[in-house]
Chain A
Amino acid sequence: MRMSKIAASLALASMLACGSALAETLRWSSAGDSLTMDPHAQNEGPTHVLSHQVYDTLVFRDQEMRLQPRLATEWYISPDDSSVWEFKLREGVSYHNGNPFTADDVVFSINRAKHDNSDMKGLLTTVVEVSKVDDYTVRMRTDGPNPLLPNNLTNLFIMDREWAEANNVTLPQNFKGGEETHAVRNANGTGPFRLVSREPDVRTELVRNDEYWGRDVFPMEVSRIIHTPISSAATRAAALLSGEIDFLLDPPVQDLERLNNARGLVVRSAPENRTIFLGMQMGLPELRTSDVKGKNPFADKRVREAMNIAINRDAIQRVVMRGQSVPAGIVMAPFVDGYSADIDVVPAVDVNRAKALLSEAGYPNGFTVTLACSNDRYINDEAICQAVTGMFGQIGVRVRLDARSRSIHFAELQRGELDFYLLGWGVPTMDSHYVFHYLFETRSERGGSWNHTGYSNAEADALIDAMTREVDADKRAEMVSSVWSMVQDDIVYLPIHHQMLNWAMKDNIDFPVQSENYPYFKLLKYNK
């Protein structure tokens, strides 16, 4: 194995004169597999991870979360019209099958992603028209000024129009048709790796695209990638410990110490763009799972405050998360525009005051409620819920825990059936508005689609709506900050922590963690 690898790399090194020419196979694993190769069919992390290797986007976020050029080299708001974005495209790029990349492909791909079958359309709702200016310039018109549009494009992959037409995949995969489309298991991107073989949930193999436009820009040291998903946490750790894989995207937190201490392995960490919190139904006249009848304890802000100061976030960080989290006082990650440490204040634990607040609110003996929790979505989600259950017990709030699989949890949450629930929220656009729009806006046709708390604040709603059209950065920042102070003051959610990301790998691999949890393997380097 070792011998053949060296022999192969020597052979290749003599063949290729330029660039890094080592033949390195990267075997890696994660709990879940990509759901489909169709890059617009699923807006979901593990699916994007694979798409990012095979396809390119117009822009992407580097390891420091800065927006970087990819297929677009420049982008700016049109000087003539503040509702139009112009993108200059990279020239001389070709697809894996040799087709050239042009503006037509971008127009095609954006429209494909906007189609009803697409799961990515939510990110493009403001885009009303995409047009080609010339072969390497594209214009996107939005329904009003949208200064943040490029933020929404980091997972919008560009497909080859010609290939899509030839293979009858001009529309994204849809489950209604009852047929498998060509794009589900085949791919033709401009990306740094090309798909060689794929057995879903078992094995996916990619090889380096030596014609890649960024061949000399990025390290591109990995020549072959083999991905084998492993759902069992213990087995995943065992596979890395036994040397069967080189890189583990999601090592179990309890094994981090062992993995880091193991000879030849290292764990790299970075804060993730995701906050874990609890939501309380405060809009109903009466909770469905409580022994309190005729009134809703969560409607009383004193109760919410008592709950907030009953949570020992440091203990959760220390024991449940093994230090792999940042206790939070606000439901947005530190990367997000509008974040400042001043408003992310972790409430101090005060059991006595919490009990006093409950008495004041008319619940001297506490009350019962059911906390619904996923057990396979976030890091140690079930353990977090068990821990807070105990903490609420100490102030007299008797919580019954209902931990279940994410498919059931999110279905019930979406139907608005939960009184008290766990949720995690990431902010792909890096902007506070995304959080407001989904989590705080009054639930209606227009927004608040993940606001299952019943919280409704007309003043905040008006500001949230106005900020989408505000072009003056300072004024907008002020609006963002005032919405945050309103919702923080109302204690709409009980933040727990910001998640940390850990990637475990062989120690000869130099690969810093990307905070959206997207490993761009073209950036991976080996220590020589």
Chain B
Amino acid sequence: MLAFIIRRLLQSILVMLAVALVSFGLFRFIGDPIHNMVGQEATAAEREQLRQDLGLNDPVPLQFARFVGNALRGEFGLSYRMARPVTDVIMERLPATLELALISGIGALALGIALGVYTALRRDGWLSQFIMSASLIGVSLPIFLIGILLIYVFAVELQVLPAFGRGETVRIGWWTTGLLTESGLKSLIMPAITLGLYQLTLIMRLVRAEMLEVLRTDYIKFARARGLSDRAVHFGHALKNTLLPVITIAGLQIGSIIAFAIVTETVFQWPGVGLLFITAIQFVDIPVMAAYLVLIALIFVVINLIVDLLYFAVDPRLRVQRSGRGH
């Protein structure tokens, strides 16, 4: 157990280093950051001076070492665009993204399991067929298109939901939340649907497939033979056994939700880190881009670690045969 954890931790550190290298190398070479920092009238000499002062003329390995050293202290420098410490900016924006990701994730999980169970149990019912077809349409539409359509219908035509932003927020310590105000909750609806739809269909299909699989197993047949009610069989035995892979996938999908938040936040102008990232790309704001990638990698690595450990704890078989780990 301990060896396993240590191995995973070492692996995580390697991943973080690789991501740091990529995020550093990636954006070091795109666009010209100098141009965004000085006005149209700056002379070539002024530009060169600034380049020198920022260390952009130093050897690349030196720049990378400096980058990692600073990153370990949580320092990603000053945003080129906003002239503010990147860490501050990201911490300000993080609550918005986490709230959106959490709400859409929980919604997708709850609704996905419910629909998955329903469609598995009523395999041939017309409603199940309809849900399955609708879910296919859902995964066949890019999420930005869904977002735009929602804005068009509910904000522009019906004017019942806000088209952008987070509404009024309440500050609790360093955290800002939109969950406590009416406008905040209303603003959350469309982005959460847009972001969660894909995960919803994914979880629903997974639950359905796993349920169908489990329902065929011998021990369910035995359970039925023992005279247990359908209800007890379905929820007490079958569902419980499908949840393990569902939890794994759901855990991994948190990362995916945060990544896809880039698209949703762009469409809805949601003031989270995804929008910050896209804005940073447009302005070639290297420190922000680098910090974002490292942060996201950190979130993913932590989630993965937790999922792995959970898996380990939940599934006794894995404790015996470590090498056979698979999803």
**Whether chain A touches chain B in the assembled complex (some CB pair under 8 Å):** yes
- Interface on A for B, CB 8 Å cutoff? 35-36, 38, 41-44, 119, 122, 173, 175-176, 178-181, 184-185, 199-203, 228, 230-232, 234-236, 238-239, 241-244, 376, 405, 407-408, 410-411, 414, 438, 445, 449-450
User: Complex Cα distance A201/B81, Å?
Assistant: 11
Query: Would you list which residues of chain B between 45 and 90 have a CB under 8 Å from chain A?
Result: 47, 50, 53-54, 77-78, 80-85, 88-89
User: Complex Cα distance A175/B33, Å?
Assistant: 11
User: Complex Cα distance A43/B38, Å?
Assistant: 8
> In the complex, which of the residues A242, A405, A407, A449 contacts B41, with contact meaning CB atoms closer than 8 Å?
A449
Query: Would you list which residues of chain B between 244 and 266 have a CB under 8 Å from chain A?
Result: 266
Task: Please state if A407 and B35 are interface contacts (CB–CB under 8 Å).
Answer: yes
Max count, chain B CB within 10 A of own CB: residue among A184, A202, A228, A244: A202
Chain A binder among B97-105, B161-169, B226-234: B161-169
Task: Please state if A405 and B282 are interface contacts (CB–CB under 8 Å).
Answer: yes
Task: Please state if A407 and B163 are interface contacts (CB–CB under 8 Å).
Answer: no
Known contacts A35-B81, A180-B85; is-contact A234 B148 (Cβ 8 Å): yes
Chain A binder among B106-114, B151-159, B235-243: B151-159
Task: Please state if A228 and B165 are interface contacts (CB–CB under 8 Å).
Answer: yes
Known contacts A122-B39, A178-B78, A242-B163; is-contact A184 B155 (Cβ 8 Å): no
User: Complex Cα distance A199/B159, Å?
Assistant: 27
Known contacts A232-B269, A238-B155, A376-B282; is-contact A200 B148 (Cβ 8 Å): no
User: Complex Cα distance A43/B42, Å?
Assistant: 10
B17 to chain A, nearest CB (A): 24
> In the complex, which of the residues A176, A200, A242, A405 contacts B159, with contact meaning CB atoms closer than 8 Å?
A242
Task: Please state if B83 and A180 are interface contacts (CB–CB under 8 Å).
Answer: yes
In the bound complex, residues from chain A placing their C-beta under 8 Å from that of B163 are: 235, 238-239, 241-242, 244
B118 at the interface (CB under 8 A from A): no
B43 at the interface (CB under 8 A from A): yes
Known contacts A185-B84, A235-B267; is-contact A411 B35 (Cβ 8 Å): yes
> In the complex, which of the residues B39, B47, B155, B283 contacts A42, with contact meaning CB atoms closer than 8 Å?
B39
Known contacts A238-B163, A244-B162; is-contact A43 B39 (Cβ 8 Å): yes
In the bound complex, residues from chain B placing their C-beta under 8 Å from that of A405 are: 31, 282, 284
B32 at the interface (CB under 8 A from A): yes
In the bound complex, residues from chain A placing their C-beta under 8 Å from that of B284 are: 405, 407-408
In the bound complex, residues from chain A placing their C-beta under 8 Å from that of B162 are: 239, 242, 244
> In the complex, which of the residues B77, B83, B159 contacts A173, with contact meaning CB atoms closer than 8 Å?
B83
> In the complex, which of the residues A44, A202, A410 contacts B271, with contact meaning CB atoms closer than 8 Å?
A202
Max count, chain A CB within 10 A of own CB: residue among B35, B47, B77, B93: B35
User: Complex Cα distance A242/B151, Å?
Assistant: 10
Query: Would you list which residues of chain B between 169 and 223 have a CB under 8 Å from chain A?
Result: none
Max count, chain B CB within 10 A of own CB: residue among A185, A230, A414, A450: A414
B24 at the interface (CB under 8 A from A): no
Task: Please state if A178 and B271 are interface contacts (CB–CB under 8 Å).
Answer: no
In the bound complex, residues from chain B placing their C-beta under 8 Å from that of A228 are: 164-165, 269
> In the complex, which of the residues A180, A238, A376 contacts B151, with contact meaning CB atoms closer than 8 Å?
A238
> In the complex, which of the residues A119, A231, A242, A438 contacts B279, with contact meaning CB atoms closer than 8 Å?
A231
A100 to chain B, nearest CB (A): 29
Known contacts A35-B82, A35-B83; is-contact A408 B54 (Cβ 8 Å): no
Max count, chain A CB within 10 A of own CB: residue among B31, B41, B162, B164: B164
B272 to chain A, nearest CB (A): 10
B303 at the interface (CB under 8 A from A): no
User: Complex Cα distance A242/B154, Å?
Assistant: 9
> In the complex, which of the residues A44, A234, A376, A410 contacts B35, with contact meaning CB atoms closer than 8 Å?
A410
In the bound complex, residues from chain B placing their C-beta under 8 Å from that of A232 are: 266-267, 269
> In the complex, which of the residues B38, B159, B269 contacts A243, with contact meaning CB atoms closer than 8 Å?
B159
B129 at the interface (CB under 8 A from A): no
User: Complex Cα distance A36/B89, Å?
Assistant: 14
- Give the interface size class of chain B: 35 or more
User: Complex Cα distance A500/B108, Å?
Assistant: 46
Q: Could you show 19 A-B contacts with beta carbons less than 8 Å apart?
A: A36-B83, A122-B39, A173-B83, A175-B54, A175-B78, A178-B78, A180-B83, A184-B84, A200-B89, A228-B269, A230-B164, A232-B266, A238-B156, A238-B164, A241-B156, A241-B159, A242-B162, A244-B162, A450-B40
Task: Please state if A119 and B39 are interface contacts (CB–CB under 8 Å).
Answer: yes
B36 at the interface (CB under 8 A from A): yes
User: Complex Cα distance A236/B284, Å?
Assistant: 23
In the bound complex, residues from chain B placing their C-beta under 8 Å from that of A200 are: 82, 84, 89
User: Complex Cα distance A240/B19, Å?
Assistant: 41
Residue of A nearest to B52 (CB): A176
In the bound complex, residues from chain A placing their C-beta under 8 Å from that of B78 are: 175, 178-180
Residue of B nearest to A29 (CB): B164
Task: Please state if A122 and B35 are interface contacts (CB–CB under 8 Å).
Answer: no
Task: Please state if B39 and A239 are interface contacts (CB–CB under 8 Å).
Answer: no
In the bound complex, residues from chain B placing their C-beta under 8 Å from that of A243 are: 159
A503 to chain B, nearest CB (A): 19
User: Complex Cα distance A176/B35, Å?
Assistant: 14
Max count, chain A CB within 10 A of own CB: residue among B44, B88, B92, B165: B165
B74 to chain A, nearest CB (A): 15
Residue of B nearest to A116 (CB): B46
B305 at the interface (CB under 8 A from A): no
Task: Please state if B282 and A239 are interface contacts (CB–CB under 8 Å).
Answer: no
- Smallest CB-CB A-B distances: 8 pairs: A411-B32, A122-B41, A238-B163, A43-B39, A176-B53, A202-B271, A119-B39, A411-B35
B92 to chain A, nearest CB (A): 6
B34 at the interface (CB under 8 A from A): yes
User: Complex Cα distance A122/B39, Å?
Assistant: 9
Known contacts A176-B54, A199-B92, A241-B156; is-contact A407 B82 (Cβ 8 Å): no
B95 to chain A, nearest CB (A): 12
Residue of A nearest to B75 (CB): A178
B277 to chain A, nearest CB (A): 12
In the bound complex, residues from chain A placing their C-beta under 8 Å from that of B43 are: 445, 449
User: Complex Cα distance A184/B84, Å?
Assistant: 8
Can you add 12 more A-B contacts, CB < 8 Å, to A407-B33, A407-B35, A411-B34?
Answer: A35-B82, A43-B40, A175-B78, A180-B88, A201-B275, A202-B271, A235-B269, A239-B155, A239-B162, A242-B162, A411-B35, A414-B47
In the bound complex, residues from chain B placing their C-beta under 8 Å from that of A175 are: 37, 50, 54, 78, 80, 83
B166 to chain A, nearest CB (A): 8
User: Complex Cα distance A410/B220, Å?
Assistant: 68
In the bound complex, residues from chain B placing their C-beta under 8 Å from that of A236 are: 164
Max count, chain A CB within 10 A of own CB: residue among B163, B165, B279: B163
In the bound complex, residues from chain A placing their C-beta under 8 Å from that of B164 are: 228, 230, 235-236, 238-239, 244
In the bound complex, residues from chain A placing their C-beta under 8 Å from that of B92 are: 199, 202
In the bound complex, residues from chain A placing their C-beta under 8 Å from that of B143 are: none
Task: Please state if A201 and B40 are interface contacts (CB–CB under 8 Å).
Answer: no
B300 at the interface (CB under 8 A from A): no
Residue of A nearest to B158 (CB): A242
> In the complex, which of the residues B36, B77, B266, B279 contacts A201, with contact meaning CB atoms closer than 8 Å?
B279
In the bound complex, residues from chain B placing their C-beta under 8 Å from that of A410 are: 35, 40
Known contacts A176-B53, A185-B84, A235-B151; is-contact A201 B271 (Cβ 8 Å): yes
User: Complex Cα distance A408/B282, Å?
Assistant: 10
B153 to chain A, nearest CB (A): 11
B268 at the interface (CB under 8 A from A): yes
